[in-house]
Structure 1
Amino acid sequence: MAQHTFNRQPPAQSYGLVSFPVQHVMLVVFNRPKALNAMTSDAEYELEALWEWYDDEPSLRCAIVTGAGRAFCAGMDLKEWNQINQRKRDGIPEKRPMDPPTTGFGGLSRRSGKKPIIAAVNGLAMGGGFEIIANLDLIVAAKSATFALPEAKIGVVANAGSLPRLARTIGRPRATEMALTGRSISAAEAREFGFLNAITEDAPADSDVLERPVVQKALEYAALIIKNSPDSVIVSRAGILAGWEHGSAENAVRVHRQTWDKIMADGHNFHEGVQAFVEKRAPRWVDSKL
């Protein structure tokens, strides 16, 4: 594991295992394998704080998220959800508001954020687990991974942000098929839909997380990203999100340029990159101040 010095330490996590396998990269492992990494409401808020810390920590430039055991994430802990609903029916107040974070399920399904996050989907991704993936920047999956939005089968709705995003990413007919039938799709189908960047071989059941081909592939993508200017990565990602969120491509371009052009041009990395190219040397990037 790489040695890091942070401005402040990452927030404590009871659900996710946090490590830093290489310089500038954070790895988060959803770690509740006996429950297929189903997520409690407490875990959602812990993770939201972690992603905010990640965006604020200058030395980190890319993150990867995966799951322990045979699942990526099976979504919300339905046992906890049922208990919460029962208390509501009985008029018993909760100790704190039980609404999900404003950044969505696991702090990710509606996150805009600043820096990229790569999904390394090691197995089953259902409900909220799939909604998380639908909003991440790159998606790598093991060939046995499966994806589903089964909410309609139990009388609820996938309302953590994935439905409009999926309609744009994979098209209305395929998004409709997933949401209204609730059927699972394979990694091969997801790749055919244009949902995945890559598919890898499966890992042996007893393999270490870092040894999994799906995590290794995610680390390869991360290595390519962190070689580039951290400012350029942040601003390029913002431009992609603007195009995704705005109805008009030209409006997205205008807003993006008004927001970022001067800030980029005033930064060290903007000048360092061009200077390094002219001098035929590797650029010496500094941590982003954006």
Structure 2
Amino acid sequence: MTEVRNFRDRVSLTVADHIADVRLIRADKMNALDGDMFAAINEAIDWLAAQKTVRAVVLSGEGRSFCAGLDVQAMMGGGVGSGKPLVERTHGDANFAQAVAWGWRTLPMPVIAAVHGVCFGGGFQIMSGADIRVATADARMAIMEMKWGIVPDMAGYALWKGLVRDDILRELTYTNREFSGAEAAQLGFVSHIAEDPHSVAMGLARTIAAKNPHAIRAAKGLFNANWDRSDSEILMAESVAQDALLRTPNQMEQIMAEMQKRPAHFED
């Protein structure tokens, strides 16, 4: 069964075969972020967080680009944000603006970003929130905020931690230099280069959706939690997660499906 949802005419979401195909749909503005786009992305993330049958998410932008970043006209008109102070946490550890990027990382299921065209500023940080990022070689990317006299403030610093060398990240932030998808892959921002990122992302999503969903969610939870844990805490967390998975119906079904060389049938 296919389920289709639309959030504020800014984000569309189609769920089929346990995969959510999420698209930014403000194509006439290269999916630039205005107030409705911020709200729509957060609403889509909140909806996905409650879906036990969604096993993977593919995130892309319609039209010529993934996301051109902040809509400057909306910014000048004060039309972006929740109206609350930036230091106020409205979405767990994040504020309203940070949540549109950080939220993909905190979803229980893996998220794969498919990127083409322009991916600047806030759009670059949204891409960075995905577990896996697939882009065209000629995609245009930049940590753009310094151009406007501000710092990246949509969770970029937290999301980029561990992805690239610190000095390279500093250079790209200080200069807001544009770079290609191919260079982004060399630096570590992008996982794979493809002529058709969305097709590759959907293929990865289908592979993930065919695995034990409880094990996939447990694996993502471990990745998310391990940044600041000590080695001993990581070792214990692995053991706790594994103990909860062993001999469960889904784990036994995974074993039988592999042995019998057939698709697995899981309980969500």
TM-score in same-fold range (> 0.5): yes
**1:4 corresponds to which residue?**
2
**1:234 positional shift:** 0.8
- The yes-or-no answer on 1:269 pairing with 2:232 is no
* Counterpart AA for 1:114: P
SS at match of 2:76: helix
The aligned counterpart of 1:18 is 13
Answering whether residue 129 of structure 2 is matched by residue 140 of structure 1, we say no
| Whole-Å separation in 1 of the counterparts to 2:232 and 2:182 | 34
**CA distance 1:34–1:146, shift in 2 (3 Å):** same
Q: Take 1:181 and 1:235, find their aligned partners in 2: how far apart are those partners?
A: 39
Q: Does 1:110 align with 2:119?
A: no
2:44 to 27, 41, 50: 50
Secondary structure in 1 matching 2:21:
strand
Q: Do 2:7 and 2:43's aligned partners in 1 also have CA atoms closer than 8 Å?
A: no
Q: Does 1:237 align with 2:215?
A: no
CA distance in 1 between counterparts of 2:257 and 2:28 reads 50
Q: CA deviation at 1:162?
A: 0.9
Distance (Å, rounded) in 2 between the aligned partners of 1:266 and 1:49? 36
User: Structure 1 residues 153, 131: closer, same or farther in 2, change over 3 A?
Assistant: same
2:210 aligned with 1:215, yes or no?
A: no
Aligned residues: 261
Shift of residue 47, structure 1, vs aligned partner:
1.8
- Percent identity at matched positions? 22
Deviations, residues 167-200 of structure 1 (Å, cap 9, x unaligned): 4111201111111111011111111112222112
Distance 1:151 1:182, change over 3 A: same
- Secondary structure of the 1:75 match is coil
Q: Provide the rounded CA distance (Å) in 1 between the counterparts of 2:145 and 2:82.
A: 27
SS in 2 for 1:65: strand
1:25-174 pair list within 5 angstroms = 25-84=19-78, 97=84, 102=91, 103=94, 105=97, 107-111=99-103, 112-174=106-168
Is the alpha carbon distance of 1:265 and 1:280 closer, same or farther for their aligned partners in structure 2, counting shifts above 3 Å?
same
- CA distance in structure 2 between the aligned counterparts of 1:144 and 1:95, rounded to whole angstroms: 34
Deviation at 1:256, TM superposition (A): 4.6
4+ residue segments displaced more than 6 Å? none
The 2-side partners of 1:11 and 1:36 are apart by 18
TM-score (norm 2): 0.86
Query: Structure 1 residue 61: deviation in Å?
Result: 0.9
**Deviation for aligned residue 1:98:** 7.3
> By how many angstroms is 1:79 displaced?
1.6
What is the identity, as a one-letter code, of the residue corresponding to 2:250?
Answer: N
Could you list the per-position Cα deviations for residues 114-171 of structure 1 after superposition, in whole angstroms to 9, with x for gaps in the alignment? 0111100011111110011112111000122021111112111101111243241112
Are the equivalent residues in 1 in contact too, given 2:99–2:154 (CA < 8 A)? no
TM-score using structure 1 length: 0.80
* RMSD between superposed Cα atoms in Å: 2.7
Structure 1 residue runs of 5 or longer lacking an equivalent are 86-93, 202-212
Distance 1:98 1:84 in 2: 13
Residue 261 (structure 1) shift: 3.4
CA distance in 2, matches of 1:113, 1:47: 13
Deviations 1:207-256 (A, max 9, x none): xxxxxx1111111111111111111111111122223x325344233235
Q: CA offsets per residue over residues 39-64 of structure 1, 9 Å max, x none? A: 12232222222122223222211111
Report deviation, 1:266. Answer: 6.4
User: In 1, Cα distance between the equivalents of 2:190 and 2:232?
Assistant: 27
Contact 1:105 1:131 in 2 (8 A): no
Instruction: Give the 3-state SS of the residue equivalent to 1:71 in structure 2.
Output: coil
